[in-house]
Amino acid sequence: MRDKTKLSEKQKNILRFMEQYIEGHGFPPTIREIGNAIGIQSTSVVNYNLNKLVVAGYLTREAQAARGLRLVNKDGSGKRRGSNAAVSKTNSTVQVVGQIVAGFPLPIPDDMAAAFSEESIEIMPSMLHGNDISEVFALRVKGESMIDAMITEGDIVIFHKQSTANNGEMVAAWLPERNETTLKRFYREGEQIRLQPAHPTMPAIMVHSSKCEIQGRVLAVIRPNV
């Protein structure tokens, strides 16, 4: 039987943050996000404590998965707690309408949506976060600029259709002057928009607010066959 009194304060804080993060986002945080949230600068220290939590039976880790951290329920199952704890038995089907670049933006061909129009994916109702299924769409990721947000090439991102976003939210941003679309974190800085990758070597994209259109906000990320 697990005994939380044997955990360090760092480890208890990690568990609390992970529960809150999964509740709000529908997918686990990155190691860097955990460190920033609980005040640990060293990712190796975060990783050490995560491994301790795995040994103690509170987490599981999938080394090759883009979102490899999982909270373990009290019954020992590896299901995520939080927003996915109480799941309806009826899944929803979302159309994968195209491809989005998580990297340096690339031109999107006119027939991109048509090329992917027959692809769809089933999602749990909890991933909708209360949004109507008619207001949700999916895009397949190309590129690695969001790797530190545990989003990698081939993942499918679920979006809520909307034209506005709050600072720090991950969005699908359309850059009409370039005829390009991209997946980045959104930040408004005066009249400028900063589209920030989650990658240590990739620079942000800076555009005037009139030249950036938000198409959707990230609700969840799915890695097929994982």
- Catalytic amino acids? 145, 184
- To which residue do tokens 């190796």 refer? 44
DSSP reduced 3-state for 37: helix
Distances (CA, A) of 12 to 44, 77, 170, 188: 17, 19, 27, 34
Distances (CA, A) of 226 to 18, 65, 75, 222: 20, 7, 22, 8
**Interior angle at CA 195, CA 103 and CA 21, nearest 5:** 90
